[in-house]
Amino acid sequence: MVFYSTKSNEKVFHLPHCKIARRIRKEYKKQFATPEEARLAGYRMCNCCSLVGMRLRKEQNAVNHFCQENGISCWLEDGQLHVHTPRSKWRIIINGKANKLFLYHKNTYQKYEKIPSIVSGYHSQATRTKTIIG
Ligand SMILES: [Zn+2]
């Protein structure tokens, strides 16, 4: 279950653990059954309740420094950390019960992906780490 406010002009949804979700007043609080359902309706996950976002806030200085040193840009969008290097595109998400970070890579050529991916158009790098810098 994910939540959104009918009072907000922004099309964002919140996970149940999010502080903002808990502050939405009853009369404005509506829900979708799943994040996928919310996305189909044009909603994206708010940055405040993104697990990667929470991790990023802890590591912000180190991540900024690393990006500057290596000519990388990164930003949060729809609960995922988008990472662009001069040569390639990556995404970092948090998944699973252990809240580990998963790295995904986008192919530069069109390729049929046999395995359905959580990150559409990207494939898993089979990398699990505890920190973004890692
Ligand atoms: Zn939220």
Label residue 37 by pLDDT band (50, 70, 90): very high
Q: What's the predicted TM-score (pTM) here?
A: 0.75
What is the residue type of 73? Answer: S
| Residues facing 81 on adjacent strands | 76, 92
Looking at per-residue confidence, does 108 or 102 come out higher? 102
Residue 107 has pLDDT above 90, yes or no: no
CA of 51 to the centre of ligand 1 (A): 10
pLDDT in tens, 65-87: 999 999 999 999 888 999 999 88
State in Å: Cα 39 to ligand 1 middle: 15
Give bridge partners of residue 105 from the DSSP assignment. Answer: 90, 123
Q: What is the pLDDT of residues 3-35, one digit of tens each?
A: 999 998 899 999 888 888 999 999 999 999 998
Give residue 107 CA to ligand 1 midpoint distance, Å.
31
Give the Cα separation of 65 and 25 in Å (integer): 40
Q: Mean pLDDT, the chain, as a whole number?
A: 88
